[in-house]
Amino acid sequence: MPRFLEPNQKFSIVLDSDKDKPTESRPTFFARSLCMREQTKLGVELDEAFARPTLEEIFTATCELLAKYLVGWKNMGAFEFGCDVREFLGIDEARDLLRKVYSNQHVTHEEKKS
């Protein structure tokens, strides 16, 4: 069954920099899978976000996209879901995360077991 047909199904996403951390403490984000129409929309939004004229506007647009597409996270220390991701993510990590959301690149079964 196509992933996006499973209502309210969330999938884990781990940043490349966190893949070697133990599963029980690994920082993990959750997003809903996107169909091609939603991927197209996010692709346009990403292009627009990174074409902003100032770094502040790029960072703000990036954070707004993360807030729009993420549905949760765990193992982020004192940072509860919904807080400003600028407090714990760098722009390279935010972009990596959005690329993974865009491409439906979720944690694989093997990665979940490690």
Please choose, from the candidates 94, 104, 38, 37, the residue with its C-alpha nearest in 3D space to the C-alpha of residue 65: 94
Per-residue pLDDT reduced to its tens digit, 19-38: 999 999 999 999 988 888 98
Length of the chain equals 114
Considering the entire predicted model, what is its pTM? 0.83
The structural domains of the chain, ordered by start, are: 3-113 (3.30.2220)
Looking at the DSSP bridge assignments, the partners of residue 28 are 74
Please give the structure tokens belonging to residue 12.
Answer: 């884990």
Tell me what pLDDT residue 109 has: 45
User: Residue 57 and residue 111: Cα distance in Å, rounded?
Assistant: 35
- Mean residue pLDDT across the chain: 87
